[in-house]
Amino acid sequence: MKILLANPRGFCAGVDRAIEIVERALALHGKPVYVRNEVVHNKFVVNDLKSKGAIFVKEINEVPDQQVVIFSAHGVSQMVRTQAQHIHATIYDATCPLVTKVHKEVARKQKQNHQVVLIGHKGHPEVEGTLGQSSEGRQVVLVEDGKDVAQLNIGTDDNISYTTQTTLSVDDTQHIISELKDRFPNIKAPKKDDICYATQNRQDAVKALMQSADVLLVLGSRNSSNSNRLREIADKMNIPAYLIDGADEIKQDWIKNANIVGVTAGASAPEVLVQEVVNYLYDHGADELQEVDGAQENVHFPVPEELR
């Protein structure tokens, strides 16, 4: 059996920054620090930070007054920011700068009196945060698929702009954008593509991998949007693909007839989990490993100045 490792894979700059913010806040303030939602969508990372003193909460009202509050990499609504200020929290914002770019784009377009359409998955924390950038009386409209586009109650002569969740499938998003443009020929695109570089690079790497692999193992938690998109790429090519939190979830039936096993990791999954999967595969018949060439990433997002 041969192992093919996708490149790039695993942590992106936004995830690196978010984890570093939590760790630096713990070092500066001591434990506990409170994190609103999972700082990144990965069970291993979250459990590691819990062991160091981070407490993860769903709502700000779960946080006592005058505590340290960190916003997750997915971003938060303006309402959540106001709630944190009301409890006199020391606030650190771990929102990925690429998500912040989307938030600023929404605010800018609304000031220009545009109806903003957001392409994304309902209920995802990033989508909730972006929807929550709406100014009073200017609601952002969410679409998940072509059916939602067809049901939009917007006049074709209105000023309309669209933006997207940063962790979507590149191919699926282009399909929805095409439908929006067909229905609203004057719709305005973002100045720069909203799907983040890391999401696109990891999807491209999996497409290259699946030209050879018989099965794909994706390191990533079930609630990780970008990890699910990686698995779906293989599914659409009719190649078995499995989303796992670690090597202990692999079933031997998945790989027993495979000559080539592809391995990748979503943007919030650490490399240590990839290496555990590689070791598992070596223990179960693998005798060769190849790193597949892919895009080179050298992006770095600095932590807030007060934590440096």
Cα separation values, 277 from 5, 76, 266, Å:
11, 34, 14
72: Cα separation from own chain's centroid: 11
Active site residue 126: yes
Q: Which of 105, 126, 128, 232 is catalytic?
A: 126
Instruction: Give Cβ neighbours of residue 42 (< 8 Å, ≥ 6 apart).
Output: 220, 221, 224, 245, 266, 268, 269, 270
Active-site residues, by number, are 126
